[in-house]
Amino acid sequence: MKNIKILFLLLCLSFISTEMNAQANSNRISLGIGALYERGFDFTIGVEHETKHHNAWEYFANGYIKYAKDPRVGHITKDSFWKHYRTWGVGAAYKPCVVRGKNHYGNIRFGGSIGSDTHEFLGWVHAGYEHNYSLRKGWQIYWQVKTDLCINGKDLFRTGIVLGFKIPTSN
């Protein structure tokens, strides 16, 4: 677990130290948190590189927690929430733009990632839709409908909604 935390910290630091700008053909740091069926929460940090016409590549690290009722007491406890089933992964997704408006745009998102549930090697195939709204100074908020196909995990499918924001990085 300590190695996972060190890897995550190094990944975050590399995102922050990368030189980027905030206009088209630019990069953004994205942070998102979501709720997934069945009884799961998802946290994603990533770097998005936007290309022409709001198409983009996203490189991300992801954490997932699936909670359950503690069978001894019959309700959710701290241990049954934080320690029931956890996964982490790193991956990439391509996001072609399919909807454009004055201050918003939408992308289909598909990609893949690899990681672990702290016991076994896992893989995921990702598909979904992401809609972005532009704010001042290059900031964005977004919502995402996502579905993950898990390979070698306890969950075969995960689906849900993620809300987040994107921070432009400048020279």
Query: Residue 158 and residue 13: Cα distance in Å, rounded?
Result: 29
Q: What amino acid occupies position 131? A: H
The tens-digit pLDDT sequence of the chain (171 residues) is: 566 666 555 555 554 544 433 345 678 999 999 999 988 999 999 999 988 888 999 999 999 998 888 888 888 888 888 888 899 999 999 999 999 988 999 999 999 999 998 889 999 999 999 999 999 888 999 999 999 999 888 888 999 999 999 999 864
CATH code for the structural domain at 2-168: 2.40.160.20
The model's pTM: 0.78
